[in-house]
Structures are given as C-alpha cells and as structure tokens.
Structure 1
Amino acid sequence: MKEFYKDFPTYSWANLIWHKKHVLRYSAYAWLALVGGLKIADALNGHNIPTDLALFFFCHSHNEGVSHMFFECHYSFAILSALILNTRSLLLRPTITYLLE
C-alpha cells in the first residue's frame, strides 16, 4: 500500500487534522477549507461554476471566502478567539495553516 502512495505529496498539516482524537466531521471541514473544497461562492467561482458573489451571512459586509469566513469577519473571529484562547494574543489575523502550525 505504501508503494502505491509513494508519489503522492505529503503535507505538514495532514497529521494535525487526521487523527483519532478529532471528530471526523471537524477534520473533514478543516481539510475542505485547506484544499479549497468548501462549497462557498468564492470556491465555486474558482472551479468555473458561475455563482453570484454573495455577502457573508454573519456580517453582510464582505463576499464569502474561506479566509473571511474564519478569520476576517469580526463576528466569526470573536467566536474563534473564544474557543481558542491563544488567538487573542496575535497581532494580525491568522490563516488556517498558521493556526495549525
């Protein structure tokens, strides 16, 4: 089996997402966010599926996007910083890969 997968790229974040101690649903959402697979307007337009660029539901001020959905929106970042206390001390808004590292 290792011989079959030897040419596949390895990612540094893979072990942080896929392991036994995470709920599979959360791991799947994190993986989809990292590889651009979430079904949001930004990703659908990137895959040549025409959609209207919708405003993000929580703030109604910016278009949907993975970085805005998790980190740039004030409402969703307040929820994230309440769940992950270390994000309160960051000077700049992080990205998904930065948080995983």
Structure 2
Amino acid sequence: MKKLILSAAIVLGSLSGYASTPTTPEQAKMTISIQAEYTEVSADAVPAAVKTALQTAYPGAKLDKAFVNEKKEYKLEISVGDQKATVYSDVNGNWLKI
C-alpha cells in the first residue's frame, strides 16, 4: 500500500512539472522603412522612354499621375479600363520592383 501511494505521488509530481509554461524572453522587432520622396510632375515631363515602355507593357493605359524622385525614378499611377495600378520605372523605361 505504501508503494502504491508513493508511486502515485511521484507520478503526480512529475506531471505537474510539465504543466508549467516556460518563459521566453520578449524579442524586439525593429522595422526600418525607407521611402524615397516623390514629387508630382506633369505628364509632359515624363521622358518618352518611360511613356513608350508604359504603352508597350500596358496597351491602352492612361497615365493619371506621375511622380519623380531625386534618383530619376518615376512612380506612375495608371488606369487600364476600370482598374487602377501604380508602377515604377527608371528614366530609361526599365521597370523597377519596389
């Protein structure tokens, strides 16, 4: 009988060790977002290479707004039919992934 009570106490004692939750140190996450400043320009100020690339990649696209940053990268807000999109291009008409 003593062995049965002792065995039950050991089993219950070992199970309570698994019930506790381990504490983990809180990890700090830091996100740095660098966004180039774009200034709005007229559609006439967009280089011909960018306009040609736009019409080649998106036939029938209408240029709604154009923005440029100091690296001469263009942010173009376009609409094709009833869909709107924002695309990025460099001064030579090469598409950028932002």
TM-score interval for Structure 1 and Structure 2 normalised by the shorter chain:
under 0.3
Superposition TM-score, scaled by structure 1 size: 0.20
Superposition TM-score, scaled by structure 2 size: 0.20
Structure with bigger strand share is 2
Structure with bigger helix share is 1
Larger radius of gyration: 2
